[in-house]
A = this chain, B = another copy of it.
Amino acid sequence: MKNATQSKSTRDAILDATDILLAKFGYKKMSIQDLADEVGIGKGSIYLHFSSKEEIALSQIDRMIGRLKDELEVIAAGKSLPGDRLAKMLRLRVIYRCESVHHYSQGINDLLAQLRPKLLERRKKHFNEEAVLLSRVITEGQSAGEFAAGDPLVLARTLVTATNSLLPYSLSAYELGDLKTIESEIKTVAKLLIRGLRK
């Protein structure tokens, strides 16, 4: 682990290359050969890690969500008021995803169109995991008397649902390019939702 570049696994290198090529070519035009060239390995080595281009793209998304969840976990475990933590978490779940595909420009339509059914399946799992993290903070806020009573997990799922329309999946390439507007929208939505949670 002397050198971060050297110690990066081949799997991670392939996913990094995927991110670069998705931005450059879009999903449809990206080939396994392009990926192998970008990483500087043979095509066969890619198939040692992934069975298809689809699996690579989905794994790249999974990795991004995994990193997002780590950051959400840190905020959830923080010491500020539960309402403030929730607002931060809701903002991050939107902005993190938007920033992760921000450089894809037009390529996002292509990617989403091709992977739509599989993506929707995965999203369910990701949303549930995010809801669990949010529910912890809601429980804290209820114990502290900041929030009204109610099933924390149901409320957390409601927060997820009510902010999901700001994720890249539901935005046009044009809207995705406008992070400032997204920032201001998630702020307003989160504020109204957290007001709704209060006693």
Q: Which residues of A contact B (CB under 8 A)?
A: 109, 112-114, 116-117, 120-121, 154-155, 157-158, 161-167, 169-173, 175, 185, 188-189, 191-197
CA distance A155 to B188 in the complex (A): 8
- Nearest-Cβ distance from residue A138 to partner chain B, whole angstroms: 11
B196, A158: Cβ atoms under 8 Å? Answer: no
B172, A170: Cβ atoms under 8 Å? Answer: no
Q: How many copies does the complex hold?
A: 2
Instruction: Show 23 residue pairs from A and B whose CB-CB distance is below 8 angstroms, ordered by the A residue.
Output: A113-B113, A113-B116, A117-B173, A120-B172, A154-B188, A155-B192, A158-B188, A161-B166, A161-B189, A162-B162, A162-B165, A162-B189, A162-B193, A164-B165, A164-B170, A165-B165, A165-B170, A169-B170, A170-B170, A193-B196, A195-B195, A195-B196, A196-B196
B196, A192: Cβ atoms under 8 Å? Answer: yes
Task: Decide if the interface of chain A is mainly helix, strand, loop or mixed.
Answer: helix
Q: A162: nearest residue on chain B (CB-CB)?
A: B162
Q: CB within 8 A of A189: which of B158, B166, B169, B172?
A: B158
- Nearest-Cβ distance from residue A165 to partner chain B, whole angstroms: 3
B161, A117: Cβ atoms under 8 Å? Answer: no
CA distance A116 to B116 in the complex (A): 11
Known contacts A165-B170, A170-B169, A172-B120; decide if A192 and B158 are in contact (CB<8 Å): yes
A192, B162: Cβ atoms under 8 Å? Answer: yes
Contact residues in B for A116 (Cβ distance below 8 Å): 109, 112-113
Shortest beta-carbon contacts, A-B, top 8: A164-B165, A196-B196, A120-B172, A195-B196, A113-B113, A192-B196, A162-B162, A165-B165
- Nearest-Cβ distance from residue A122 to partner chain B, whole angstroms: 11
Q: A115: nearest residue on chain B (CB-CB)?
A: B113
Contact residues in B for A166 (Cβ distance below 8 Å): 161
CA distance A175 to B189 in the complex (A): 24
Q: CB within 8 A of A197: which of B109, B121, B192, B197?
A: B192
